[in-house]
Amino acid sequence: MSKPLFIRNANQILTFQGSSQAPLTKEKMGKPYVIEGGSVWVEDGKIQDIGSDEELAGRYREKLTEAEEIDATGKVLSPGLVDPHTHVVYGGSREEEFQMRLNGKSYMEIMNAGGGIHATTRATQDTDEEQLYEESKSRLDQFFLHGVTTVEAKSGYGLSLEHELKQLRVAKRLNEDHAMDVVSTFMGAHAVPMDLKETPEVFVDHVINEMIPEVAKEELAEFNDVFCEKGVFTPEQSRRILEAGKEYGLKPKIHADEIEPYAGAELAAEVGAVSADHLLKASDEGVKRMAEQGVVGVLLPGTAFFLMAESANGRKMIDQGVPVALATDCNPGSSPTVSQPFIMNLGALKMGMTMEEVLSAVTINAAHAINRGQEVGSIEKGKQADLVLFDVPNYMKLQYHYGMNHTHTVVKNGKVVVE
């Protein structure tokens, strides 16, 4: 039994009260869910109580001496940040490609010439499981330092049964061994391997008939994702893969309309995807259907920033009723970062989102994007005590001082992991 934790006298507590059942949309995304001045009592890894310091000190008077205390004076207490879209398990790195892009080559040109995802696939295949585990583990440590307490992690740099399983086993072990919660997504359909370029259907069949059944059998993933993009997987191929996953209990997700419009948002609504991600070129009709079906739009402004592209229209999607979440897309090619705080800045500066909307998007809506809305993403009684204390006196300063990491203390399941 761990000691109770008493977080005392925060300047502001961002609660997102009442949002565990469904993601926030429209005006509800932009409301400030703020308690001015308050404390939180944590026990058995859960949030037990929220109230004024005096109230809680009175109510838990008998346990006060045994409790560990955190002085939150002058700081903002937020739910631990959730990152609902990462490719955090990978081998190698691609700074030379960044240099090539600075010299005028495009992301897709590099990929079609065998670089990009293919380069990371070769590096990941060449990295053994232990090494992959160690490298990914240190990235999770970095996520903690940026206030992130839950990450989604995709496979998709194996592109063969053996190496896809290796990637997913690493994610599973990290979820078990590391304090971070790691939620796994199978993404065998991340690219068509170079040797099957001329016969993509052969690979699609392989994903459907060999990979998905094995991933499901070993219980290595909750979600199934596809890179639906011109020159990668067509909407028809994507539909087949996502429908096949559903039969094995894998919930659909989709990389949609990133580089060119391709009716990916429409497909997400049609197959009942939990989220559609990227959406830079999503059509109005697709966005409308996502809103109708409650598909979370996971926007990745760091990827747009790093690929020097125009960001997705977050403002418009929120106005049309899409529940929007924000993620890093942490990967070695299009978004080599773990900084959700910087992604928050981009949400405000590049997508026209308000400060309050940005906060909903990296907490409760991000949790809903990976089906964790009931466990994490808000500060409410009974939820996991995943909390981050930011060293700013009010939440507006998280946005105002941009490009900085204000993370001060991180609590995961009731235990201090960063102080």
Please enumerate, by residue number, every residue annotated as part of a binding site for Fe(3+). 85, 87, 255, 329
Q: Name the residues that contact ligand NIG, by CB under 6 A.
A: 87, 116-117, 120, 227, 255, 258, 303, 329, 331-334
**DSSP SS3 for 21:** coil
Compute the least distance from the CB of residue 281 to ligand NIG, in Å. Answer: 12
Is 167 within 8 Å of 159 (Cβ atoms)? no
Nearer to ligand NIG, 79 or 332 (CB): 332
Closest approach, Cβ 152 to Fe ion, in A, equals 10
Number of residues that bind Fe ion (CB under 5 A): 1
User: What region does 145 belong to: left with phi over 0, alpha with psi -120 to 50, or beta?
Assistant: alpha
State yes or no: residue 225 binds Fe ion (CB under 5 A).
no
Q: E strands within 158-273? A: 181-189, 223-228, 251-256
Distance CA 82, CA 340 (A): 8
Binding-site residues from annotation: 85, 87, 94, 157, 190, 255, 258, 329, 331, 333-334
Residue with tokens 């939150």: 72
Q: Does 164 bind Fe ion (CB under 5 A)?
A: no
Distance linking the first and last C-alpha atoms of the chain: 21
Among ligand NIG, Fe ion, none, residue 117 binds (CB under 5-8 Å by kind) = ligand NIG
Residues flagged as binding site for Zn(2+):
85, 87, 255, 329
- The residue of the chain with the least Cβ separation from ligand NIG equals 333
Q: How far is the CB of 117 from ligand NIG (least distance, A)?
A: 5
Q: Which residues are annotated as a binding site for N-formimidoyl-L-glutamate?
A: 157, 331, 333
| Residues contacting 206, CB < 8 A, separation 6+ | 161
Q: Does 329 bind Fe ion (CB under 5 A)?
A: yes
Q: How far is CA 141 from CA 109, 164, 284, 343, in A?
A: 33, 23, 39, 18
What span, in angstroms and rounded, lies between the C-alpha atoms of 139 and 307? 21
Rg (CA), the chain: 21
Q: Is 152 in the site for Fe ion (CB under 5 A)?
A: no
* Min CB(307)–ligand NIG separation in Å: 8
Among Fe ion, ligand NIG, none, what binds residue 12 when CB lies within 5 to 8 Å by partner kind?
Answer: none
Closest approach, Cβ 316 to ligand NIG, in A, equals 21
Supply 208's token pair.
């459907």
In the complex, the residues that contact Fe ion under the rule CB under 5 A are 329
